[in-house]
Amino acid sequence: MSGNTEVIVIGGGYAGVMAANRLTQRADVTVTLINPRPTFVDRIRLHQLVAGTHEAVAEYGKLLADSVRLVVDTVTLIDAAGRALTLASGDTVGYDHLVYAVGSGSADPRVPGAAEFAYPIAGLEEARRLRPVLDAAPASAPVTVVGAGPTGIETAAELAEQGRTVTLLCGGLLGPSLHPRGRRSVAGRLAALGVSVLDGPDTKVTEVTRDAVRLAGGCELPSTVTIWTAGFGVPDLAARSGLRTDALGRLLTDETLTSVDDEHIVAAGDSAAPSGLPFRMSCQAAVQLGPQAAETVLSRIAGERPASIDVGFVGTCISLGRGAGVFQLMGRDDTAKRYYVGGRAGAKIKELICRSIPWQLSYEARKPGARTWWSKDARRRQLLQAGPDQQRTTAERAA
């Protein structure tokens, strides 16, 4: 044993990689990243993987600091009392501090037939499973995309641009996080691409069959390929390990991202629920929470009091095929403003941001501690002081 402090990061997504790299600031800290696959998944490009316009992966060798040890395995249980992890391979590894950054994935649709006949795309393996299915389907075959958040919109646009016959089922409002002006821009582009957008409560899917979808309003639509993008879930590792979580399964933490059950465990990214008020599941939040989780660990190692998190949003980027996009400006509290950039300029901003994310990860690997983040928004401070009813409403919106 070297006598170094052993820190393990579970999960090699945006938050996990940022955390692992930031931890290398101290030479007396040994950092291990445990991830189930040997390559980094660029999740914000998975809709492009489905369409065949990007592979959505990168090599960890280009993103991780040289001193970070990568272990390709899956953590099946956290023994908080013993500070040890059980791995799917059967190995057991100990730690002094743990960063819980397991990310998110497809949620259980809880709709009859969806698990059997619909294709989720929240994970690499899911997207790869769908791609040959689309390749095998005739170009004229009806494709249905369920869910009108950013992933659903991007997937529908990407496929329609390739000449596919696409229907987008909103189950409510198209792009609910967008300002009405940005939403109109998205709707206009989708119409130009030939996407049939069905919105309103009657478009909620009630059943999926092998070749059709049934809607709440009683309508049945033919669907050769049904793609499910409605909702995200998180792994149940924390709950299975006896750690307290929110209703969705995110690890409950305080404002320093420290588990409410154990100060040796911090959380970051989509799987964290600080003060029961989780941030929107997004790359934008993850690349801010990852380094701050690491700073909490480093503060504890140094015997200092960890700082509270500072997270702010700037905008929401949605690609609308390769030729257009929408950059919706947001307040720091993630509330849509009336301003947006659309068309080809929106597409260029989206692509610039997509390319910048791996660069940010690799920059943190080269210069740990250099990455900064946006100031905490005043709205969150107000919510932390508010009653549980107001907090619950915000938490539900984030879910």
- Phi, psi dihedrals of residue 274, rounded to the nearest 5°: -65, 125
pTM of the model: 0.92
Q: How far is CA 188 from CA 69, 200, 282, 351, in A?
A: 48, 17, 25, 20
Query: Over the stretch 218-229, which tens digit does the pLDDT of each residue have?
Result: 999 999 999 999
Indicate whether 211 pLDDT > 60.
yes
DSSP H or E run through 357:
helix 343-366
Mean pLDDT of the residues in the chain: 93
What is the full DSSP assignment across 10-72? E--SHHHHHHHHHHTTSTTEEEEEEESSSEEE-GGGHHHHHHTS---EEEHHHHS-TTPEEEE
| Residue 237: partners with Cβ closer than 8 Å, 6 or more residues away | 10, 75, 76, 77, 78, 100, 102
β-bridge mates for residue 377, sequence order: none
The two three-digit tokens of residue 289, written as one number: 């929470």
Contact by Cβ (8 Å): 233, 239: no
* Per-residue pLDDT at 224: 98
For 9-68, the pLDDT digits (tens) are 999 999 999 999 999 999 999 999 999 999 999 999 999 999 999 999 999 999 999 999
User: Would you say 365 and 21 are in contact if contact means Cβ atoms under 8 Å apart?
Assistant: yes
pLDDT for the residue numbered 375: 54
Q: Has residue 94 got a pLDDT over 80?
A: yes
Give percent of the chain with pLDDT exceeding 90: 89
Q: What is the pLDDT of residue 389?
A: 56
In this structure, are strands 225-228 and 142-146 parallel, antiparallel, or unpaired?
Answer: parallel
φ/ψ region of 147 (left if φ > 0, alpha if ψ in -120 to 50, else beta) reads left
The predicted model gives 238-256 an average pLDDT of 97
Residue 112 pLDDT = 97
Looking at beta carbons, which pairs linking 324-329 to residues 24 or more positions away fall under 8 Å? 324/157, 324/189, 325/349, 325/350, 325/351, 326/178, 326/182, 326/185, 326/186, 326/189, 328/177, 328/178, 328/179, 328/182
Residue 129 in 3-state DSSP? helix
CA 34 to chain centre: 18
Predicted local confidence at residue 1, as pLDDT: 39
pLDDT in tens, 288-343: 999 999 999 999 999 999 999 989 899 999 999 999 999 999 998 899 999 999 99
Q: What is the mean pLDDT of residues 243-258?
A: 97
d(CA 61, CA 45): 20
Cα–Cα distance measured from residue 342 to residue 154, given in angstroms and rounded to the nearest whole number: 14
Confidence check: pLDDT of 381 > 80: no
- Crossing angle between the packed helical segments 343-366 and 14-23, to the nearest 10 degrees: 30
Contacts of 110 (CB under 8 A, 6+ apart): none
What mean pLDDT comes out for the span 196-217? 97
| C-alpha Rg value of the chain to the nearest Å | 21
Residue-level pLDDT at 141:
98
Identify the pLDDT of residue 29. 97
- How many percent of the chain have pLDDT more than 70? 93
Lowest average pLDDT, out of 6-10, 107-111, 119-123, 302-306, goes to: 107-111
136 pLDDT higher than 80: yes
Instruction: State mean pLDDT over 176-185.
Output: 96
pLDDT of residue 160: 98
